[in-house]
Amino acid sequence: MWAQIPFMTEWIDESRLRTTSTCNLTHLKLQMYRSIGDDIAIPLLESLQSAPLEVLVFEGIKDGSLTLISRIAQIFPDLVGLTLIRRENHIQKKTKEATWPHQSWEYANQFNGFHRLKYFEWNFAVPFDDVTPSAMLTFEELASGSNNTDTSFKEWDEPMSEYFDDTQSVTLPFAVCCPTLKVITLYSCSCRFYCGISRGPKGKIQVEHGYNPPKGHNEQDWNPSFLQQGWEEEPPPNRKIKAILDM
């Protein structure tokens, strides 16, 4: 259970003092059905600061603070993959999109501390495929007696002003603050929405987004589910320790 995390933190701290062996933990996923605050999450991360962590998944954070991301970047600047899933209250058990307490660009500013980060996933609620008020223009034109108003049905794959799509504007600040980023994933209860980042010859940032993952992207590498039985194990002698804890 989530209440055991402080005891686990204490155990890790004591174990580090009693042994001279190195910690080979490179992949860690904490899946918590009841959210935990920074007062629990940050001490746990600090207890693991000697680990060569490459992929971190925190599924079930409460605060969604700038401080948490800043501390993660300070403790693990060489992370390659990071997933943060916020739960808005203790009643919420299912992972779905959530309202975070700050603007997306404020979180992006914390990412300049990462040196190798390629993948970031979170459940920040972004309005895409939500209807805009632009339909009111059609009503106004019809009410004024206009005979040139286009009332035809538009297919989903057509460029439309009738639907919000802020995914690109949300992604760009992260790409600027963290030049190594390749993929940002927006997580909802029903699907993942992928934003692939590329850079042109002169450094121009381009974002391609959609429900299909970018070419070469494997979700299993970054945030495996229990149905997928976790990360693939590696053989010794250079075995990496990859742990998934369901709490």
Q: pLDDT tens digits, residue range 15-64?
A: 777 776 677 889 899 888 888 899 999 999 999 898 899 999 999 999 99
Architecture of domain 22-126+166-246: Alpha-Beta Horseshoe (3.80)
The candidate with the shortest Cα–Cα distance to 37, out of 6, 7, 10, is 6
Structure confidence at residue 160 (pLDDT): 46
Q: Is the pLDDT of residue 159 over 70?
A: no
Strand partners of residue 243 = 28
Q: Output 186 or 161, whichever has higher pLDDT.
A: 186
Q: What is the average pLDDT value for the chain, to the nearest integer?
A: 79
Strand partners of residue 186 = 122, 193
What average pLDDT does range 207-228 have in this prediction? 77
HEC sequence for 78-112? CCCEEEEEECCCCCCCCCCCECCCCCHHHHHHHHH
32-41, 212-221, 229-238: which has the highest mean pLDDT?
32-41
The distance from CA 9 to its chain's CA centroid, rounded to whole angstroms, is: 24
d(C-alpha 142, C-alpha 53), whole Å: 60
Q: What percent of the chain lies above the pLDDT cut of 90?
A: 31
Q: Is the pLDDT of residue 156 over 50?
A: no
d(C-alpha 187, C-alpha 149), whole Å: 37
Q: Output 38 or 240, whichever has higher pLDDT.
A: 38
Say which range, 66-75, 107-116, 151-160, 214-223, has the weakest mean pLDDT: 151-160
Two tokens, residue 90: 């203790």
d(C-alpha 21, C-alpha 205), whole Å: 43
pLDDT tens track for 81-108: 999 999 888 777 777 888 999 999 999 9
Structure confidence at residue 232 (pLDDT): 66
Say which range, 2-6, 130-134, 138-142, 146-150, has the weakest mean pLDDT: 130-134
Secondary-structure percent of the chain, ordered helix, strand, coil, rounded to 5: 30, 25, 45
The candidate with the shortest Cα–Cα distance to 60, out of 33, 39, 41, 96, is 33
What average pLDDT does range 116-141 have in this prediction? 73
DSSP 8-state secondary structure symbol assigned to residue 77: T
Q: Output 29 or 130, whichever has higher pLDDT.
A: 29
Structure confidence at residue 209 (pLDDT): 77
Q: Is the pLDDT of residue 122 over 90?
A: yes
Going across the sheet that includes 183-187, the strands are 205-210, 192-199, 183-187, 119-122, 81-86, 55-61, 25-36, 241-246
State the DSSP string of 122-147. Answer: E-B---EEEEPTTHHHHHHHHHTT-S
d(C-alpha 197, C-alpha 17), whole Å: 42
d(C-alpha 219, C-alpha 18), whole Å: 37
Q: Is the pLDDT of residue 176 over 80?
A: yes
Structure confidence at residue 141 (pLDDT): 66
d(C-alpha 20, C-alpha 22), whole Å: 7
Structure confidence at residue 247 (pLDDT): 61
d(C-alpha 243, C-alpha 226), whole Å: 11
3-class secondary structure, 47: helix
